[in-house]
């Protein structure tokens, strides 16, 4: 980063450096969605939602473990205000969990697609957190896939598998772009 970088760009660079551009979180999230897809296939929507909930709680700690061990990423220093924004952005995510939980009882077929759309909407914020435009594409993909499922259009496999694969595919270019900017 040069001395002429804006404070936002400097904070984004710092946060991106500390969290490997967010790629490990996308990778872990993709694995959680794949596991939920398998659970959905074997045991149904309710159990798949439980897998998403429990797995979702593990995303951040597992991603940080990968960032610190595999990539030797340092802790954020000047990116701290953006970390606060990331934490605050979990509130709408919790609201999404609540909405999806209610839908599990009232309209089970809508619960996981609605939750996928909410997670996708949250990914748009990651563009601001990391300065990485790929998060707009990832969020858009989530919302488009969730929209297809919400309208009852059959996917070739269940939504958990589709979303999980999208995240695994997206993690690679996000990681490469982070490594190039390092």
pLDDT digits over 103-118, tens only? 999 999 999 999 999 9
pLDDT one-digit tens code per residue, 136-173: 999 999 999 999 999 999 898 999 999 999 999 999 99
Domain boundaries, the chain: 7-181
Compute how many other C-beta atoms are within 10 angstroms of the C-beta atom of residue 112.
Answer: 26
pTM of the model: 0.93
Does the structure show a pLDDT above 60 at 3? Answer: no
Q: What pLDDT digit, counting tens, does each position of 61-76 carry?
A: 999 999 999 999 988 8
């Amino acid at each position: 980063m040069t001395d002429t970088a804006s404070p936002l760009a400097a904070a984004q660079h710092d946060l991106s450096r500390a969290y490997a551009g967010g790629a490990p979180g996308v990778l872990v999230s993709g694995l959680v969605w794949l596991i939920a897809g398998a659970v959905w296939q074997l045991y149904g929507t309710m159990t798949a939602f439980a897998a998403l909930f429990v797995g979702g709680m593990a995303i951040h700690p597992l991603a940080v473990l990968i960032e610190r061990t595999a990539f030797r990423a340092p802790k954020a220093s000047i990116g701290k205000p953006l970390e606060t924004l990331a934490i605050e952005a979990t509130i709408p995510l919790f609201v999404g969990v609540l909405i999806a939980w209610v839908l599990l009882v009232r309209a089970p077929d809508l619960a996981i697609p609605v939750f996928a759309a909410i997670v996708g909407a949250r990914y748009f914020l990651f563009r601001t957190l990391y300065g990485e435009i790929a998060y707009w594409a990832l969020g858009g993909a989530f919302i488009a896939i969730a929209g297809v499922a919400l309208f009852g259009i059959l996917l070739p496999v269940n939504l958990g598998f589709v979303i999980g694969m999208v995240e695994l595919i997206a993690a690679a270019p996000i990681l490469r772009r982070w490594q190039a900017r390092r």
